[in-house]
Amino acid sequence: MSRDADDVNKLTESTYKNVMENFNPNLRNLVNLGKSYEKSVTAMTLAGKAYYDAVSKIGENAAVSPVSREMGVILMEISEMHKKVHEELVESFKRFHREIMAELEKKTDLDIKYMTATFKRYQSEHKMRQDSLDKSQTDLKKLRRKSQGKHSNKYEVKENEFLVAISSRQTEMQKFMEDSCKEALLEEKRRFCFLVDKHCTFSYQMATFHDKAKEMLSMKLPSWQEKCSDATKVPDTVTAMIKGLRDHASSVDEFSSESPDGKGSDAVVPPAPPLKAHTSPLANMFSQESFKSPVSPEACSDQESLDSNSLSSETSAMKKPRVLTIFPHTAGNNDTLLSFDDGDVITLLIQEERDGWLYGELEKTGERGWFPSSYCRTYSDPVMSNVADPPLQNFSIVQHPDDEEEEEQPVLMPPPDYSDSCRKTPTPSAQNTGSLPNGTSMAPFLGGGNPFATVRLRPTVTNDRSAPVI
C-alpha cells in the first residue's frame, strides 16, 4: 500500500475514533449538564415567583393607604409583569428540553452503536481488500521467480493476468478508501452540524424571549419611574380630605369662641363628648311640636306610647354601626371585596377591624364584602346627632307661683314623660331667648338660678344609660 493510501486509511480511522471516543462521550456529558441547567432554571423561576409574590403582598398592603395606594398598584404591576417574563422563560426552556435535550439523549445512545458498527465494517472490508491485493502481488512474485531461466513465453500470459487482477484490485481499493474516508468525515461533520443547528434554534428562541421581555418591561417602566420620582407628593384626594378636616376644625373653633351676648365662650355649654350611639327616651324631649300648640292629656298618653315605640325602633336600628366612604374602591375580579363610590353608606356586619379591613353591606345595593378601613369614616346619622347634642334648641316657659311680682323668666321644661300632667306652655318671646351662630336658641337659665324649683317629677324607669341623672 502506497504512502497516500496509508495516510487516507489513518485519516479515516482517526475520524471514526474521534467521533466514538470524544464526540459521543462529550455529548452524553452535555445532556447531563443540560438537565442540570433545566433544574437550575426551574428552581430560579420558583424562587422568582415566591419573591414577586412577596412584592405583590407588600403592594396590597400599600394599596390600603390613601397616600401609598398608587405605589402599591405599581408594585403589584411589577410583580405581575416579572411573573409573565418568568412564564415566557419557562416556555423557552420547555422547547429547549423538547428540541435539544431529548433529541441529543436519544441520538447519543443510537450513535454510539452506529459508529461502532460502521467502524468495524470499514476495518473488516479494508482488511479483506488489502489481503486480496497482497495475495495477488505475492502470486505475481512467485510466478516471476518460476519464469527465471526458463522459456518466458510460457509464463507471459499468466503474468499478464496477474497484473490485470492486481491493477483492478488496486483501483477498487483506492476507490473504497476514498469513499470510506469521505463518509467518515461527513459523519463527523453531520454530528457537529446537528449540534450547531439545535443551539442556533435555541439561541433564536432566547433572543425572542429577551425581545419580548424587553418590550413588556419597557412599556410600563417610564410610567413607573415617573410616579415614584417624587416621594413628597400627596394625592389630591388626601390633600382635599386634610384641608376639609382643617376647615372643619377652624369652624368649630369659631363657633366655640362666639356667644349670644358677646361675652365670650364661657356662657356656652360645651357639647357632650362623642359616645357610643344609644337611643335615649329624651331624644324627642324638645321637639318643635311640644310648644307650638297646647297639648291635651289624651295627647300626652299618645305621646308616651309613641316615645316607647320610637325608642324600641331606634334602638334596633342602631345596633349595627355605619360608616361613610370618603374614597372610591374597586374590587376588580375579587368576589370577596366590596366596590363602592365616594359618599356611600356601609353597614358594618363585623365591627372588629382585621388587618386594616372591615366587612359590611353597602346600603344602596345590598352587596357584602371586605373593604379597607382607611377609605371610610364614622357615619353620623342626623337622628343620632340630635340625640347626642344637648337639647338647647327648644324650651318651654313656666311661671313661679310664689314670685308673680318678680320678672318672668323662661325655663327649660323636662319632657312630658316626666310630668304629672300636661301643661300648656306659652311660646317664648323674642326678648327672653338668645340666638347662637348656628341658629339654635340658648336657654335663659344658663345665667344662673334653678328653673326646676317648682317642677314635680314622677319616678321613671329606663334602661337607657345615656339619659342624664336627675
Q: Which of 272-276, 307-311, 344-348 has the lowest mean pLDDT?
A: 272-276
CA 442 to chain centroid, in Å, comes to 56
Q: Which of 59-68, 113-122, 170-179, 428-437 has the lowest mean pLDDT?
A: 428-437
8 A C-beta contact, residue 345 and residue 322: yes
Q: What is the pLDDT of residue 97?
A: 92
pLDDT digits (tens, 9 = 90+) for 150-191: 666 666 777 777 788 778 888 888 888 889 999 999 999 999
The three cell numbers of residue 180 are: 470510506
Question: What's the CA gap between 317 and 279, in Å, rounded?
Answer: 10
Question: What's the CA gap between 16 and 119, in Å, rounded?
Answer: 6
Supply angle C-alpha 268, 273, 277, rounded to 5: 130
pLDDT digits (tens, 9 = 90+) for 378-412: 887 665 444 444 444 443 334 444 444 444 444 44
- Where does the pLDDT of residue 205 fall: very low under 50, low under 70, confident under 90, or very high at 90 and above? very high
Q: Of 118, 173, 387, whose CA–CA distance to 278 is shortest?
A: 387
Q: In 3-state terms, what secondary structure has residue 67?
A: coil
Question: What's the CA gap between 435 and 437, in Å, rounded?
Answer: 7
Find residue 377's DSSP bridge partners.
324
Q: Does residue 438 carry a pLDDT above 50?
A: no
pLDDT digits (tens, 9 = 90+) for 109-145: 888 889 889 999 988 888 888 888 878 777 777 777 7
Q: Does residue 80 carry a pLDDT above 90?
A: yes
pLDDT digits (tens, 9 = 90+) for 304-335: 444 544 444 444 445 688 999 998 988 888 88
Cell 393607604 belongs to 65
Percent of the chain with pLDDT over 70: 61
CA distances from 291 to 13, 412, 431, 452 (A): 125, 11, 17, 18
Cell 376639609 belongs to 244
Question: What's the CA gap between 21 and 27, in Å, rounded?
Answer: 11
CA 76 to chain centroid, in Å, comes to 5
Fold designation for 3-227: Substrate Binding Domain Of Dnak; Chain:A; Domain 2 (1.20.1270)
Beta strand extents in 299-415 (DSSP E only): 322-325, 345-354, 357-362, 368-372, 376-378
Question: What's the CA gap between 184 and 118, in Å, rounded?
Answer: 9
Burial code (b: 16+ CB inside 10 Å, e: under 16) for 202-217 equals beebeeebeeebeeee
8 A C-beta contact, residue 142 and residue 155: no
Q: Of 442, 113, 98, whose CA–CA distance to 261 is shortest?
A: 442
Specify burial of residue 372 (Cβ count, 10 A radius: 0-12, 13-18, 19+): buried
Q: Of all helices (H) and strands (E), which one includes residue 218?
A: helix 152-227
Q: What is the pTM of this model?
A: 0.46
- Domain segments of the chain: what residues? 3-227
- Number of other residues whose CB lies within 10 A of the CB of residue 58: 14
pLDDT digits (tens, 9 = 90+) for 13-57: 899 999 999 999 999 999 999 999 999 999 999 999 999 999 999
